[in-house]
Amino acid sequence: MRHCYRRLGYPLAALALILTMNVPVSASTAPTHRPTPRPWVKLCLKLKQKHSHRHIRCRPPRLPRPRMAPMSMLESQLTPTINEISVPTSPSAVLGITSGPDGNLWFTENYANKVGRVTTAGVFTEYTIPTSNSQPAGITTGPDGNLWFTEAAGNKIGKITTGGTITEYTLPNSGSYPWSIAAGPDGNLWFTESDGNRIGKITTGGTITEYTLPTSGAYPLYITPGPDGNLWFTEPLAAGIGKITTGGTITEIAGPTGAMPIGIVTGSDGNLWYTDGTGKVTSATTGAGFTEYSLTDPSGFPWGITSGPDDNLWFVEQLGSRVDSITTGGTLNEYALPTDFSGPFEITTGSDDNLWLTEDWYDQLAIVTP
């Protein structure tokens, strides 16, 4: 098994130094090889400052730990089938993942500076991004039949055709650190600028418009189309969520006390569902009503979330190395991944009706058959 744990040491050390010096954390204005703290490191260390999460582990162990404990017959009947496959490049730091218009899964390799494609049969193809050290993050299918992705350190939005041709668009403001991207109901792509504290919009022709958030330092992270025709996004450092109309009007909504909203998606029940870094998953109505559900492990650090083929919500616990499902009625099931401390990151439903998720720390994808 290949290891890529060392890449986290440098960002952690850099962030510790920055915090000590009381200097704001910011992405570089141009892609360089200077270590830049990734969002999961920044938010994990923020959580660690809380007494209730002081023991949270913000970096993986030195070696992978396969889970060897045998399951009982009942557990084997209830547990979904989970298989893991390795990405060709290592270290790669696989992060974002989405189902493409061609029936394949497309994913970003944050450390390897590539966009990857894998068939549902497990055949890989990788494409190198023209801008070096761009740190690709989020990826989604656009209304034009192409894949669109963010380049966090490159400060660009990228487009890749299903044939592998890449086009890049530079953001108007440097150091914006674009992270998540989603297709909007207006035929445009919408994305978050975590360090820029803005929401961005890009047309399929490449025209970019940016909207500044009312709350400074909110750190917008993930964005999704909502059930009401608006775009909804998380603000982990403002303890809330926000919505933006396709015309650019922003409304911020305070979440439950102490919340750290991270991943967000619209559920089959017409509500917004988001993962909370404090060890919860939360249902939110468009009218700002919140219902929280606690995980077994408060330090599991839930991250990516998607609506599954079974109409349940599926999400990952990055530090708990689990993939979980929750019904719209609040029934929670948690499943351990084969590799402990694999760093599961984002999750999506494939054309094969399986759940596909990225495992950042050991350059793997996991396939979950519900």
* 48-52, 108-112, 130-134, 304-308: least confident range: 48-52
**pLDDT at site 206:** 98
pLDDT digits (tens, 9 = 90+) for 145-204: 999 999 999 999 999 999 999 999 999 999 999 999 999 999 999 999 999 999 999 999
**pLDDT at site 54:** 73
* Token reading at 40: 């999961």
pLDDT at 235 over 90: yes
pLDDT digits (tens, 9 = 90+) for 301-316: 999 999 999 999 999 9
**pLDDT at site 50:** 79
pLDDT at 52 over 90: no
Burial class (CB in 10 A: 0-12, 13-18, 19+), 368: buried
The chain-wide mean pLDDT, for the chain, equals: 88
CB 343 within 8 A of CB 95: no
pLDDT digits (tens, 9 = 90+) for 8-17: 443 333 333 3
* 21-25, 133-137, 144-148: least confident range: 21-25
**pLDDT at site 216:** 97
CB 237 within 8 A of CB 20: no
Where residue 144 falls among pLDDT bands split at 50, 70, 90? Answer: very high
pLDDT digits (tens, 9 = 90+) for 191-228: 999 999 999 999 999 999 999 999 999 999 999 999 99
**pLDDT at site 121:** 97
**pLDDT at site 42:** 84
pLDDT at 18 over 60: no
Residue with tokens 């060890």: 279
DSSP per residue, 88-121:
SSSS--EEEEEE-TTSSEEEEETTTTEEEEE-TT
Residue 46 to residue 44: CA distance in whole angstroms? 5
- What dihedral do alpha carbons 225, 228, 233, 239 form, nearest 10°? -150
**pLDDT at site 55:** 73
pLDDT digits (tens, 9 = 90+) for 256-310: 999 999 999 999 999 999 999 999 999 999 998 999 999 999 999 999 999 999 9
**pLDDT at site 36:** 58
pLDDT at 321 over 90: yes
pLDDT at 21 over 50: no
**pLDDT at site 91:** 94
